[in-house]
Structure 1
Amino acid sequence: MNELQKEDIQRRVARCMPWILLFEFFYTFNDNVFNLITPNLSEQFGVTPSTISLIVTFSKLFFGIASIVYTALSDIISIRKVMLLTSVAFPVATLLGVFSQDSFTLLVVSRILFAVTIAAPVALQIIIAIKYFDKLTAAKYLGYNTAIYQLASAAGHLFGGYIAEYLSWNLVFLIPVLTIFGLPVLFKNLPKEVTLKGSFDAVGMILMTAISTFLITYLTFKMQYPLLLIGAVVCAALFVWHTFKSKNPFLKPELFRTRGITRSLIVGVLFYATQIGFYFVFPFIVNKTYHMSTSTIGAFYTITNIAAFIIGMFTGRIIKKIGYRNIALLGGTFIFAGLGMIAFFVGFSVVFSFVGMGLFNIGYVLFFSGYLANFTQLLPTHQHGAGIGVEKLVVTIAASLGGAFVAMLYGQPFMMTKIVDFSANTQTALFSNVSLVLMILIGLATWLFVSVFGKSFNRQEEFGQREPGTSAQGQV
């Protein structure tokens, strides 16, 4: 391919990127709206908070599974074909959600289909940026991705509250249909690729989905159905057996033999699980404790998202000053402080709760900008793609389990005893204790992070500048 052809392809792909980023916006927007209105849905459908959490956890689970499937398929099927197929299916899937107002089951199914179809453009945008652009341009688009995430979160919290309170929450499914207008642009400009021969481990994918679904459902229904746990254990045993027998397994065992990878993934698991668990319980905190309307909660949420967005715009400068490792530790400190604000002061002024949420959001922007860079340093060059795919799968499943874990704790008698809640409010011990549990998880995760990533990982330059074919594993 000559330079003119390469430049032409880059121009055409650049025309597609705004539409692809729009999928990221609608995915995050939809997710944040449903995180916000879970108390309303719990009352509308007459189900417990733990049951209503299935809307969040199943969506996260199937999004994670679908993301790794699409990423793996992109090696053996044209990205163009995968993108066009899912982009056509997505408006149909999201329209189904418009009719789910009177059926909790249909709502859960709609959220799953929404997640499965939108996962392709959201997951593949990273591969497209890296494949067709130089490092600087690719980094620019990844930066746009982060900005879109924060703006969509702010929009979801601000407008979602008003939609739910003054219109109807099912209309949230109608807005993403706008993506259909981008189909002609994608069809005309996405490059036609020559595909390579390969295979995909469908059995491994099905078993991984079954394990996660059994575990999430078991936790969501407060461990009342041991058959679900038995099902998860049986599927896990089959998955391990199949992984070592398969020539091209869903999860590659050799990746986990790289020093530090397993502990690093556990760090990601704990941070992601804490994030989704806290996002699930926070609307209940402000709704049950301070009796705030959904639109008011959304407005306050928006302020914390904008604060995180502003900090996120300066992460590059912060990294240049303190390094990738230290920015991750700084983020962990903010998260710990935000949870502490809730644990100790939830029964007092609502200001403490939203300051805590603000610190929490800022902490995650800082933490993940450093964590992913450090995780990549652990990987040999030839395993970057597989490693990032595994990280995405593992932490997304963990996020689903985090929501289910907090839902399991919600309302348990042993969570009603005041430990660090010194307020006179008799209703806040549950929320204080949930935040305390999450603080412990973050403390453990930070300790593991430090044990894996020593000071030698605190690069302030571009982390990809080491010699090709080498890894940083020897620095641990």
Structure 2
Amino acid sequence: MSTATQTTAPARVFTPSRAVPVLLFLFVFSLVLDNGFKFMSPALAESLDLPVNTVSLQATLAGILIGIGAVVYAALADSISIRRLIIFAIIVMTIGSLIGFVFQGDFWLILVGRLIQSAGLAAAETLYVIYVTKHFTGDEQKKYLGFSTAAFQLSLLIGTVGSGFIATYIGWAAFFLVALLSLLAIPVVLRTVSTETTGGGRVDVFGLFLIAVFSTGLILFMQNFNALYLLPVGAGLILFIWHIRTHDNAVITSAFFANAQYSLMIIVVFVTYSVQLGYTFLFSFLISDVYDYNLGEVSLLLIPGYIAAVIVGTATGKIARFLTSKQAITIALIVIVIAMLIPALLVGQWIGIFVISMILFGMGFALMYGPLVSTAVMRVPVENTGIAIGFYNLTINIAVPVGIAYTAALMKLQPNLLGGITGTDQASSYGSILLILTGVAALGLVLYRVFVGVLERTDTEVTTPGGRDDR
């Protein structure tokens, strides 16, 4: 009688570095899709014959969902494996994209598709950073985190150029089908990403819900300036303050806001970053209407700016050897103000002014990001840094759609602050909006300098061993 010998296959050994390429690809891919849809808003407005402020909802509400979703995925990553979360996100992204494509003639169903799609898009960036910080240390960790900075700028470039050409030469709805390419990443994720978890994750559902109520109410108020929408804004804000003061396990606690440096920098972040995609959103409409460029041609004008931002972003470590954080942030904000002020006065003139403007604009934000993050969390205890950075990024993700919303509202109002200076009424209206955005950026600069002065006077100044003010 023969006996069968059973053999047990050896367990698969996962090498952390093997998963980096596919996670980084999904990081870039998700941001390409989101930024692409933001950029092609003019095509949607024209195709569906809708006002700009209505079409902007597919960018603003999706932006809020991505910001909140990132926090949710970060919390879930403690109790559910990154591999499962990534695969779930890809499936959700695909379902939302198919809904948007199938119902491309109905804006409200397109919006539903975009929101479902965004619930999937929210995973990639956060899970990549968590994976890298969990599996790598020291210089290797810095290297892979540095990839994320470059990847963000690269995604802006690919998203705007790609969506611009697809909207111009194929049709904007076809951009929904690009998301289906993410399905090809699932087998690679299964082979390279491990299933390990750390356990103990928790999501502050109520706190995130209140943030969603506040920010959504604010954006809807900006659609038509209906005072009724201020009710959820006020209620959401009051309940959120109560929530973080009375619950130790809230998304962020009141102790963080007792840290003057962190809370004041969060205000600067909200004001300043509301301008970032507000200008980009305006740019595509402005160039199309005033200079009669199609979206494909408009996207090409943005390439030098994104390349400049990538260069500055990757060189921030070297720049830090020569500039303190205070100097770098001040210079960055001044550059951002100049980048919008000059073209505001020259709308309708040489189009190269806008290419130069976008180069300065991108360089300013790239120079500011690292020093501003460092300044905000400088006095936060090490054990709370993760939560502090998470809320910092959430603030940016809320500020961006709010900026798009008030820019769209201004476009509907068509202000004319520069009559007779910039030529036609249309050019004057766009110049006026750009001038208002310049004012918001200038407010960010003033607030930063005032807050730094307050912090210095209250003796919370932090200096390096060499005595340089590195605030």
Fold match (TM-score > 0.5): yes
Taking the TM superposition and a 5 Å limit, the aligned residue runs for 1:197-346 are 197=200, 199-219=202-222, 221-223=223-225, 225-346=226-347
Query: Is contact 1:325-1:457 (8 Å) kept?
Result: no
> Is it true that 1:119 corresponds to 2:119 in the alignment?
no
Q: What is the aligned residue count?
A: 453
State the shift of 1:385 in Å: 0.8
| Aligned partner letter, 2:350 | S
Note the alpha carbon deviations across 1:92-148, whole angstroms, 9 max, x for none: 333333224212112212221222112112112112111110121121112111222
- How far apart are the structure 1 equivalents of 2:284 and 2:362? 15
CA spacing shift, 1:248–1:434, aligned 2, 3 Å:
same
State the shift of 1:194 in Å: 4.6
Equivalent in the alignment of 1:73:
76
Query: Is contact 1:66-1:116 (8 Å) kept?
Result: yes
Equivalent in the alignment of 1:409:
410
- How far apart are the structure 2 equivalents of 1:369 and 1:15? 27
| Aligned partner letter, 1:269 | F
| Aligned partner letter, 2:304 | I
User: Between the two proteins, what is the percent identity of the paired residues?
Assistant: 26
State the shift of 1:348 in Å: 1.6
Equivalent in the alignment of 2:35:
32
| Aligned partner letter, 1:111 | R
| Aligned partner letter, 2:417 | T
* 1:251 counterpart SS class: coil
Equivalent in the alignment of 1:47:
50
State the shift of 1:422 in Å: 1.9
Q: 1:155 aligns with which of 158, 165, 169?
A: 158
Query: Is contact 1:88-1:183 (8 Å) kept?
Result: no
> Is it true that 1:427 corresponds to 2:426 in the alignment?
yes
* 2:15 counterpart SS class: helix
State the shift of 1:359 in Å: 1.1
Equivalent in the alignment of 2:400:
399
State the shift of 1:324 in Å: 3.4
State the shift of 1:384 in Å: 0.2
Equivalent in the alignment of 1:63:
66
Query: Is contact 1:61-1:397 (8 Å) kept?
Result: yes
| Aligned partner letter, 1:423 | T
State the shift of 1:83 in Å: 2.8
Equivalent in the alignment of 1:5:
none
- How far apart are the structure 2 equivalents of 1:27 and 1:168? 20
- How far apart are the structure 2 equivalents of 1:168 and 1:460? 58
State the shift of 1:48 in Å: 0.7
State the shift of 1:406 in Å: 1.3
- How far apart are the structure 2 equivalents of 1:277 and 1:460? 40
Equivalent in the alignment of 1:108:
111
- How far apart are the structure 2 equivalents of 1:44 and 1:87? 28
- How far apart are the structure 1 equivalents of 2:29 and 2:203? 29
Q: TM-score scaled by structure 1?
A: 0.88
- How far apart are the structure 2 equivalents of 1:425 and 1:27? 39
Instruction: Show structure 2 runs of 5+ residues with no match.
Output: 1-11
| Aligned partner letter, 1:101 | Q
- How far apart are the structure 1 equivalents of 2:94 and 2:452? 43
Equivalent in the alignment of 2:7:
none
State the shift of 1:451 in Å: 4.0
CA spacing shift, 1:204–1:32, aligned 2, 3 Å:
closer
Note the alpha carbon deviations across 1:169-225, whole angstroms, 9 max, x for none: 122122232222222332233333354335432122222212211211111x221x3
Equivalent in the alignment of 2:173:
170
Query: Is contact 1:319-1:460 (8 Å) kept?
Result: no
- How far apart are the structure 2 equivalents of 1:285 and 1:329? 28
Equivalent in the alignment of 2:21:
18
Query: Is contact 2:30-2:124 (8 Å) kept?
Result: no
State the shift of 1:368 in Å: 0.9
- How far apart are the structure 1 equivalents of 2:63 and 2:136? 29
* 1:411 counterpart SS class: helix
- How far apart are the structure 1 equivalents of 2:383 and 2:147? 27
- How far apart are the structure 1 equivalents of 2:28 and 2:162? 13
State the shift of 1:76 in Å: 4.0
State the shift of 1:229 in Å: 1.6
> Is it true that 1:184 corresponds to 2:183 in the alignment?
no
State the shift of 1:268 in Å: 0.8
Query: Is contact 1:243-1:252 (8 Å) kept?
Result: yes
| Aligned partner letter, 1:31 | D
User: Which entry has the higher C-alpha Rg, 1 or 2?
Assistant: 2
- How far apart are the structure 1 equivalents of 2:241 and 2:146? 37
State the shift of 1:387 in Å: 0.3
Q: TM-score scaled by structure 2?
A: 0.89
| Aligned partner letter, 1:433 | S
Give the superposed CA RMSD: 2.6
- How far apart are the structure 1 equivalents of 2:36 and 2:92? 22
